[in-house]
Structure 1
Amino acid sequence: MQFFEQFTDLAPLSILVNIIDIMLVWYVIYKVLTLIQGTKAVQLLKGIFVIILARIGTWFFGLETLEWMLKQVIEFGFLAIIIIFQPEIRRALEQLGRGRLFQRSTSQLEEEQTRLIEAMKKSVSYMAKRRIGALISIEKDTGLNEYIETGIQTDADITSELLINIFIPNTPLHDGAVIIQRQKIMAAACYLPLSENPFISKELGTRHRAALGLSEVTDAITIVVSEETGSISVASNGNLNRDLSLDQFTELLRLQWFGPKAEEVTTSKWTWRGKKNG
Structure 2
Amino acid sequence: MFQNFGIKDIIDIVLVAVLMYQLYKLVNKSGTSSAILKGIMAFVVIWILVSYVFQMRLLGTIIDKVADIGLLVLVIIFQDEIRRFLMSVGSHSAIKTIARFFTGKKGSELSDSVITPIVLACMNMAKTYTGALIVIEQEIKLSNIEETGEMIDADVSTRLIENIFFKNTPLHDGAMIIADGRIKAAGCILPVTQRADIPQYMGLRHRAAFAVSQETDAKVIVVSEERGKISFVSGGEIEVNVSPERLQALLTSSLTKSKTKSKHKE
Q: Shorter-normalised TM-score: what interval? A: 0.5 to 0.7
Distance across 1 between alignment mates of 2:254 and 2:194: 29
Instruction: Give the CA RMSD over aligned residues.
Output: 2.4
Counterpart residue number, 2:123? 125
Counterpart residue number, 1:267? 260
**Secondary structure in structure 2 of the residue aligned to 1:259:** helix
- Residue identity matched to 1:128: A
**Secondary structure in structure 2 of the residue aligned to 1:247:** helix
Distance across 2 between alignment mates of 1:204 and 1:275: 10
- TM-superposed CA distance for 1:175, in Å, is 1.3
- Residue identity matched to 1:178: M
Write out aligned runs for 1:15-26 (5 A).
Answer: none
Counterpart residue number, 1:240? 238
- Residue identity matched to 2:260: T
- TM-superposed CA distance for 1:177, in Å, is 0.3
Do the aligned partners of 2:192 and 2:211 also contact (CA within 8 Å) in 1?
Answer: yes
Deviations 1:115-148 (A, max 9, x none): 1111111101110100000000000011111100
Do the aligned partners of 2:173 and 2:187 also contact (CA within 8 Å) in 1?
Answer: yes
Do the aligned partners of 2:151 and 2:186 also contact (CA within 8 Å) in 1?
Answer: yes
Distance across 2 between alignment mates of 1:146 and 1:226: 25
Counterpart residue number, 2:161? 163
- Residue identity matched to 1:187: A
Name structure 1 gaps, 5 residues minimum: 1-109
Do the aligned partners of 2:222 and 2:232 also contact (CA within 8 Å) in 1?
Answer: yes
**Secondary structure in structure 1 of the residue aligned to 2:159:** helix
Percent sequence identity over matched residues?
41
Write out aligned runs for 1:138-153 (5 A).
Answer: 138-153=136-151
Q: Determine which structure has greater relative contact order: mean sequence separation of CA pairs < 8 Å that are 6+ residues apart, divided by chain length.
A: 2
Counterpart residue number, 1:181? 179
- TM-superposed CA distance for 1:253, in Å, is 1.6
- Among candidates 187, 197, 215, match of residue 217 of structure 1: 215
**Secondary structure in structure 2 of the residue aligned to 1:188:** strand
- Among candidates 195, 198, 222, match of residue 196 of structure 2: 198
- Residue identity matched to 2:254: G
Structure 1 runs (4+) greater than 2 angstroms displaced: 273-276
The number of equivalent residue pairs is 160
Distance across 2 between alignment mates of 1:190 and 1:266: 25
Counterpart residue number, 2:205? 207
Normalising by structure 2, we get a TM-score of: 0.56
**Secondary structure in structure 1 of the residue aligned to 2:111:** helix
**Secondary structure in structure 1 of the residue aligned to 2:119:** helix
Distance across 2 between alignment mates of 1:246 and 1:266: 18
Distance across 2 between alignment mates of 1:155 and 1:136: 15
Distance across 1 between alignment mates of 2:191 and 2:156: 24
Larger Rg belongs to: 1
Write out aligned runs for 1:26-105 (5 A).
Answer: none
- Residue identity matched to 1:212: F
Do the aligned partners of 2:133 and 2:205 also contact (CA within 8 Å) in 1?
Answer: yes
**Secondary structure in structure 1 of the residue aligned to 2:240:** strand
- TM-superposed CA distance for 1:259, in Å, is 2.2
Do the aligned partners of 2:134 and 2:178 also contact (CA within 8 Å) in 1?
Answer: yes
